[in-house]
Amino acid sequence: MDHLLVLLLLWSSGVQAEEKHNSESDDVRLVGGASHCAGTLELKHLGEWRIVDGYAWTLKHADVVCQLLDCGSAVSVEWRFETTNTPVWEMKTECIQSGSAVRDCVTSDSSSVITNVTCADSVRLLNGSSLCSGRLEVKSDQSWSSVCEADFDQQDAEVVCRELGCGPPSVLQGALYGEVEAPVWSKEFQCGGHESALLDCRSSGSARNSCSPGKAVGLTCSEPDDVRLAGGASRCAGTLELKHLGEWRPMFEFGWTLKDAAPICEHLDCGSAVSLQHTKSSLEFSWRIKPDCVQSRSTLRECTTSGYYNPILNLTCADSVRLLNGSSLCSGRLEVKSDQSWSSVCEADFDKQDAEVVCRELGCGPPSVLQGVLYEEVEAPVWSKEFQCGGHESALLDCRSSGSARNSCSPGKAVGLTCSEPDDVRLVGGANNCEGMMELRHLGEWRPVCAFSWTLKDAAFVCKHLDCGSAVSVDSRHESLKRPAWWIKYDCVHVRSALKDCTASSYHTFILNITCSGKICMT
């Protein structure tokens, strides 16, 4: 519900600063929790309190609510289905963005999604790069105060990071996150490090009522989240699971493609992303990560929410080869992993047959370009053996190799490899090759394409690719298929990504049909 976030941001930038609200103004609250900083999210509009449908909210959304309520940083957000006979509030983003009054953008809706938000009661981190970093402020007697470095130590920091749902402190230093004129906490914290909240710690009076410039506590906690691939043939393949709030759960996100998953392979120190499948599971409760949030360089924690989701993601990364700095997942500077470290490969130790094995291992088509200086040189260890592949092997490290006296490469001589894109598309079942159900060949297999919300502009990409003129019509219809489909993310194709980068396996049955203006006789 990003549209509600837009509304809340508008409030937080000015509307809530008004001393008096008229009868039509909006408000928010959290009810049913241990304090006013935790509970079910409700919105007041036109004098009526209703639950807010916060489907797929993340911590970044929830943090805006915490700010409005004058609570600390957002700690968790969860949504659940719950039978209710009462209507909920929904906001229209496009209405708000058009400059209409807030009251004109609120609509009544029916939903069974309940959103629960937990904020920290009395600590917050401001101006940081994530919800786990910033200048520390503590709340007491309804006012916020900065804390002076001399009154705060590592054990105190451990308590704050735990209270905010973050990992252990990694940096404790003033002047990191901007100085502001604010009251200064008048007591010295004396935490043992085991407390669950900073205000549970003992404290002693301090004569301090101001801090020297740059001496207000700036704190960076480590990010608590981690990811893993479970149940696969190696640690680089399996069901994608996320550890969040201390709990491992499978991860759902129907909108993910190989391009979105590639950073996960990198995070796990695996090779390039090879395949991604959406599969049904008997498990209902999972974590969800929004790919557009991750792509904005937000941390995993900020992009995570929990709820009842299906399907879950299965990801396969290459164990020991990767292509870096290329224009797609099938191009880049080649690196090989051995003994937990990555090495470049010198052109003199690598030939066309070796390249065929790498391209096959990465799920790409045959090699089309093998040349150095294509994909940005970096100083890195150089592979010390010459590969001697026959071209039929399934993995580069399965090939024979001989020792090489080489321990460095001349500038521009590290292997740069471009594999051809393995994908192809076709239209089948129509009067000619320029109309019908769209099918995609990916990882060597033809399947129908499942796609939602495609427009003529999206379909034009396919018609052009098939040399079939312009797009005339596009529609998706429900069909009962006994075979899986490929799913293509249309906005990924728009940015000229390769089809492989934009593809994932799907069990959905909304099949795409396209008619182009050209006519190619069927053979």
Better pLDDT: 89 or 204:
204
User: Would the pLDDT of 61 be above 80?
Assistant: no
Better pLDDT: 468 or 59:
468
**Of 24-33, 188-197, 201-210, 407-416, the least confident:** 24-33
Query: pLDDT-based confidence at 389, cuts 50/70/90?
Result: very high
Question: What's the token pair of residue 375?
Answer: 């994909």
Q: What is the pTM of this model?
A: 0.67
Contacting residues for 66 by C-beta, under 8 A, at least 6 apart: 37, 72, 73, 74, 117, 119, 120, 124
Contact 394, 360 (CB under 8 A): yes
User: Would the pLDDT of 318 be above 60?
Assistant: yes
Query: pLDDT-based confidence at 289, cuts 50/70/90?
Result: confident
pLDDT tens-digit readout, 23-59: 333 578 899 999 999 998 888 877 888 887 776 677 8
Better pLDDT: 83 or 7:
83
pLDDT at 103: 53
Contact 64, 109 (CB under 8 A): no
Burial degree of 477 (CB within 10 A; 0-12, 13-18, 19+): exposed
How far is the C-alpha of 488 from the C-alpha of 497, rounded, in Å? 11
**Of 73-77, 287-291, 492-496, the least confident:** 492-496
pLDDT at 406: 66
Q: What percent of the chain has pLDDT over 70?
A: 74
pLDDT tens-digit readout, 444-453: 778 888 776 7
pLDDT tens-digit readout, 356-371: 999 999 988 899 888 7
Same fold yes or no, 226-317 and 424-516: yes
Query: pLDDT-based confidence at 472, cuts 50/70/90?
Result: very high
Q: Is the peptide bond before 311 cis (omega within 30 degrees of 0)?
A: yes
pLDDT at 122: 93
Contacting residues for 305 by C-beta, under 8 A, at least 6 apart: 56, 57, 58, 59, 77, 78, 79, 287, 288
User: Would the pLDDT of 17 be above 50?
Assistant: no
Phi/psi for 439 (5° steps) reads: -125, 150
User: Would the pLDDT of 199 be above 90?
Assistant: yes
pLDDT at 291: 65
Calculated CA dihedral for residues 330, 331, 336, 340, nearest 10 degrees: -80
Better pLDDT: 38 or 277:
38
User: Would the pLDDT of 279 be above 80?
Assistant: no
**Of 390-394, 412-416, 518-522, the least confident:** 518-522
Q: Structural domain boundaries of the chain?
A: 2-119, 123-221, 226-317, 321-419, 424-516
Better pLDDT: 152 or 458:
152
pLDDT at 96: 36
pLDDT at 253: 63
| Mean pLDDT, residues 414-435 | 87
pLDDT tens-digit readout, 497-515: 577 777 776 666 678 899 9
CATH of domain 2-119: 3.10.250.10
pLDDT at 189: 93
Query: pLDDT-based confidence at 94, cuts 50/70/90?
Result: very low
pLDDT tens-digit readout, 369-384: 887 766 666 667 788 8
Contacting residues for 433 by C-beta, under 8 A, at least 6 apart: 426, 427, 466, 468, 520, 521, 522
CATH classification number, 321-419, choose in 3.50.50.60, 3.10.250.10, 3.30.1540.20, 2.40.110.20: 3.10.250.10
The gap between the terminal CA atoms of the chain, to the nearest Å, is 49
Alpha carbon of 239 to those of 165, 288, 334: distances in Å?
A: 25, 13, 27
Q: What percent of the chain has pLDDT over 90?
A: 28
Q: Are strands 38-45 and 341-344 parallel, antiparallel or unpaired?
A: unpaired
Output the average pLDDT for the chain. Answer: 79
Alpha carbon of 52 to those of 30, 116, 456: distances in Å?
A: 10, 10, 35
The residue among 68, 112, 107 whose CA lies nearest residue 86 is: 112
User: Would the pLDDT of 6 be above 60?
Assistant: no
Query: pLDDT-based confidence at 95, cuts 50/70/90?
Result: very low
Token look-up 């026959």 returns 390
The per-residue b/e assignment along 53-66, b for 16 or more CB within 10 angstroms, e otherwise, is: bbebbbbbbbbbbb
Better pLDDT: 35 or 101:
35
User: Would the pLDDT of 458 be above 50?
Assistant: yes
Contact 41, 4 (CB under 8 A): no
Report the CATH architecture of 226-317.
Answer: Roll (3.10)
The residue among 170, 150, 168 whose CA lies nearest residue 160 is: 168
| β strands within 200-300, DSSP E | 202-205, 218-221, 226-231, 237-244, 247-252, 273-279, 285-289
Contact 336, 345 (CB under 8 A): yes
| Mean pLDDT, residues 189-207 | 89
Query: pLDDT-based confidence at 354, cuts 50/70/90?
Result: very high
Q: What is the DSSP string of 352-405?
A: HHHHHHHHHHTT---EEEE-TTSS------B--EEEE--S--SSGGGSEEEE-S
pLDDT at 501: 78
CATH classification number, 424-516, choose in 3.40.50.300, 3.10.250.10, 3.40.50.11610, 3.30.2010.10: 3.10.250.10
Token look-up 């993340």 returns 58
The residue among 65, 77, 40, 126 whose CA lies nearest residue 245 is: 77
Q: What is the DSSP string of 295-345?
A: HTT--TGGGEEEEE---EEEEEE-SSEEEEE-SSTTEEEEEEEETTEEEE-
pLDDT at 10: 44
Domain 123-221 has CATH 3.90.1300.10: no
Q: How many residues does the chain have?
A: 523
Contact 479, 506 (CB under 8 A): no
Query: pLDDT-based confidence at 308, cuts 50/70/90?
Result: low
